[in-house]
Amino acid sequence: MSRSLRHGAFAATALVFSIAALSACSAGNDAQTLQVRPDNAATAVDNIKIQNLNIITQPEADAEGPAVIAATLFNDGTKQEVVERIALPGTGATVKLQPAGGKGKLVVPVGGRVVIGGKDNASAVIENGREAGANGNVQPVAFTFSETGDIELGAAIVPATSFFEGFGPSALPSTKPTATPSASPSGSASPAAGEGSESPSDTATPTDEATAGN
């Protein structure tokens, strides 16, 4: 019994140290995006580390719309890494990448990190969220880096609720603005109405002058 208690004490101590270390690392930038949860996928290949990987779907299971990939990428190498592609192997899903600034390549700087998902961060959007899979399942996600190459690991599929609410597709703006074809006719009608209202006043002026002359 004392032996098992010692093992439990060692495990608890290791857990406390790991949580303290993670908290210290994440305090510098938007700590919420860097929180590590026990059920989040993580891996390290060469100089690249991937942490907190999840696929986040619509908050309601039957809702249509996109899903997103959330992850934190670290680069411990001496060259910047460009995320050239993120894919869901075995599916027809299209993943659209966009850096935090909205333009250019998704770059993981030397000695730095990139957060994918959440407000003001880079994004990886699965345009058809249903192709990501069902909530509760694990879906392989393949990253292609310019220097390291391909890294594949499994991501839990979770809805955008609770902890994941701020990282989910519900926070995305609509991809296509609603068309308003009726705006053109009404816009063209206004000048016509304006011209019509000006015509009587223009013709009235010569009539007044003629009357005055007589």
Helix (H, G, I), strand (E, B), or coil: what is residue 96? strand
33: which DSSP letter? G
Q: Is the pLDDT of residue 202 over 80?
A: no
Mean pLDDT of 99-121: 94
The Cα–Cα gap between 66 and 161 comes to 15
Half-sphere exposure of 156 (CA within 13 A, CB side): 13
Burial of 146 (0-12, 13-18, 19+ CB in 10 A): middle
CA dihedral 18, 19, 20, 21 (to 10 degrees): 50
pLDDT score for 167: 81
pLDDT digits (tens, 9 = 90+) for 161-187: 988 888 877 444 444 444 545 444 444
The Cα–Cα gap between 71 and 97 comes to 13
pLDDT score for 190: 45
**Among positive and negative, which fits the CA dihedral 144, 146, 66, 136?**
positive
> How do the domains of the chain map onto residue ranges?
42-171
Domain covering 42-171 in this structure, CATH number: 2.60.40.1890
Amino acid at 99: P
Q: Is the pLDDT of residue 118 over 50?
A: yes
Mean pLDDT lowest among 43-47, 63-67, 134-138, 207-211: 207-211
The Cα–Cα gap between 11 and 213 comes to 109
Q: Tell me the pLDDT band of 63, cut-offs 50, 70 and 90.
A: confident
Mean pLDDT of 187-212: 45
pTM above 0.85, yes or no: no
- DSSP for 153-209 reads EEEEEEES-GGGGGGSGGGSPPSSPPP-TTHHHHHHHHHHHHHHHHHHHHHHHHHHH
Q: Is the pLDDT of residue 23 over 50?
A: no
Q: Tell me the pLDDT band of 158, cut-offs 50, 70 and 90.
A: very high
Cα–Cα nearest to 72, from 88, 56, 97, 52 = 52
